[in-house]
Amino acid sequence: MSSSADKPARIPRNPMDQVSVRRANLALVLAEVRSSGPASRAAVARGTGLTRATVSSLVAELLACRLVRETEYQLSGSAGRPGLQLELDGRTVAALGLEINSRYLAGCLIDMAGRTVQERRLVLDATAQDADETIRALASLAVELLGHAARSGVHVAGIGVAAPGPVAAATGRVYSAPNLHWEDIPVAERLRTVAALPDSMSIVVDNEANLAALAEWEHAHPGVADLMYVTGEAGLGAGIVAGGQLLRGASGFSGELGHVQVDPDGARCACGRTGCLETKVALPAALRTAAPDLVEPAGERGGTAWGPQEQTAELARRAAAGEPRTLAGLDEIGRWLGTGLSIPVNLLNPEVVVLGGYFASVAPYLLPATMRELRARVVAGDAALCRITGSVYGFGAAVRGAAGVIVEEVFTDPARVGR
């Protein structure tokens, strides 16, 4: 029996409309396999409301694109030949995530099932060079990872780029990145040109905190409707999920938590203002407060790469060893962090706050002071206190979120893989 989705009256006469309907149905079938697989064609038909004939035709296309595969499953207690079941494949289709940080560049290839194909990190002091030099280095990293994918027989569906500061996601421009001294940089356009990428290659640029928030929300906190992710690197920002949707604001520039003033008599920030939260709790401030000898520019130390991850690992080691200077410094950082977090907690009432970057590694030493300060400043009292937890991805959250945007593009339009 035909479902309402396959009645002749619903089939558009315009050929272009028919193509659009087929693409939508292709996404519908892939989503059903993704959420319910392994599943038979009959089960997919029931789940989507499409006829078995329509599902079979769509599945054939998904098999050709290698987004799904057939496997034999024997139901427990049954006899006879195992039935063919559909499950998500996607091993030969990947998304490339890239991250621009003031102290490093990162890249990560992730396939459609969320598996890491290849990842790279390059310690680089982007504050010591101009935007063109940094984008050339990013392009080289992209070309390297794209080459690895090609040699492995993996089709890259697109590139997501995580960048600091306010980003116009629609155009791929970074409007302002104070720690990099960037103003109005067309990252997507320049990356495409320098890396000689074809026009068919999708490039999406977004704020690093937004992308990290999506990665954490989708994979570590999928049932949470209201979440805030806070970066903890050279800068400080927030990605906000409200009501199950990323909160961008009217112009797409929400989440600049690092530039909220918390100390009018404080130090000057890279943005030109004084007393910003970033000057109190970002990684450079934490190192100056808790381990001054670790404050060094990106590069090498003792013959090995020396960047934020290495600094953080040493900071965590000292805290675990009970070094008084480190513990006292992290307690002070925690106090300022609680002061800063009280502002969005009072405004937005999130269920979970996820601490990313270096915060994730030293969270046990920050959180007691953070929670004391937060409890004292939350207007609604304990009823409004949220859960605060460290990121499951740490420094890798933004680059995984960047790749994840492309993964979702493919699930929205699977036909793009075959084009």
Specify the CATH number for the domain of residue 39: 1.10.10.10
Residue 217 covered by a domain: no
One domain, residues 182 and 242: no
Q: How many Cα atoms sit within 13 Å of 11 on the Cβ side?
A: 8
Which residues 6+ apart lie within 8 Å of 388 measured at CB?
Answer: 341, 352, 353, 354, 355, 363, 367, 370, 371, 374
- Alpha carbon 410 to its chain centroid, in Å, reads 16
Co-location of 362 and 412 in the same domain? no
* d(C-alpha 91, C-alpha 111), whole Å: 6
323 and 203 part of one domain? no
**Cα 357 from Cα 359, distance rounded (Å):** 5
Q: Is residue 107 part of a domain?
A: yes
Task: Decide if 290 is inside a domain.
Answer: yes
Residue 145's domain comprises 93-212+398-418
Residue 348 and residue 228 in one domain: yes
- Nearest CA to 299 out of 138, 125, 126 is that of 125
The reply to whether 244 falls in a domain is: yes
The number of C-alpha atoms within 13 Å of 54 and in the hemisphere containing its C-beta is 25
Reading the block at residue 250, the tokens are: 């009217």
Question: How is residue 24 written in tokens?
Answer: 């939508």
Tell me the whole-structure pTM to 2 decimals.
0.89
pLDDT value, residue 302: 66
pLDDT tens digits for the chain (419 residues)? 344 444 444 445 565 578 889 999 999 999 999 998 799 999 999 999 999 999 999 999 999 989 999 987 655 555 555 568 999 998 999 999 999 999 999 999 999 988 999 999 999 999 899 999 999 999 999 999 999 999 999 999 999 999 998 999 889 999 989 889 999 999 999 999 999 999 999 999 999 999 999 999 998 998 899 999 999 998 899 999 999 999 988 888 889 999 999 999 999 998 999 999 999 999 999 999 999 999 877 676 766 778 899 999 999 999 999 999 999 999 999 999 999 999 999 999 999 999 999 999 999 999 999 999 999 999 988 888 899 999 999 999 999 999 999 999 999 999 888 65
Residue 53: per-residue pLDDT:
94
The answer to whether residue 162 sits within a structural domain is yes
pLDDT at site 251: 82
Contact 105, 208 (CB under 8 A): no
Same domain, 190 and 147: yes
Amino acid letter, residue 203: I
Same-domain pairing of 63 and 13? yes
> Where does a domain end: 43, 66, 88?
88
What's 96's DSSP letter? E
Q: Judge if 156 and 304 occupy the same domain.
A: no
Give the number of domains in the chain: 3
pLDDT tens profile 225-251: 999 999 999 889 999 999 999 998 888
The beta strand positions in 227-306, using DSSP E, are 227-230, 238-242, 245-246, 299-301, 304-306
Question: Does residue 218 lie in a domain region?
Answer: no
CATH, residue 345: 3.30.420.40
> 234, 181 in Cβ contact below 8 A?
no
Considering the domain architecture, whether residues 375 and 239 belong to the same structural domain is answered as yes
128 and 271: one domain? no
> Do residues 50 and 124 share a domain?
no
Nearest to 337 by CA among 329, 348, 325: 329
Single residue among 88, 116, 144 that ends a domain in this structure:
88
**CB count in 10 Å sphere of residue 305:** 15
11 and 42: one domain? yes
What is each CA distance from 351 to 191, 279, 389, 395, 414, in whole angstroms? 37, 26, 11, 22, 33
Provide the pLDDT for residue 249.
87
Sheet containing 245-246: give its strands across.
245-246, 238-242, 227-230, 352-355, 387-390
Asked if the structure places residue 265 within a domain, the reply is yes
Contact 149, 136 (CB under 8 A): no
Nearest to 358 by CA among 232, 252, 214: 232
Q: What is the pLDDT of residue 416?
A: 84
Using DSSP's 3-state secondary structure scheme, residue 381 falls into helix
Supply the pLDDT for residue 47.
Answer: 94
In a domain, 33, yes or no: yes
Q: Please indicate, yes or no, whether residues 229 and 378 belong to a single structural domain of this protein.
A: yes
pLDDT score at 204: 96
| CA distances, 393 to each of 39, 231, 304, 356, 397 (Å) | 31, 12, 23, 8, 5
Q: Which of 46, 71, 88 is the last residue of a domain?
A: 88
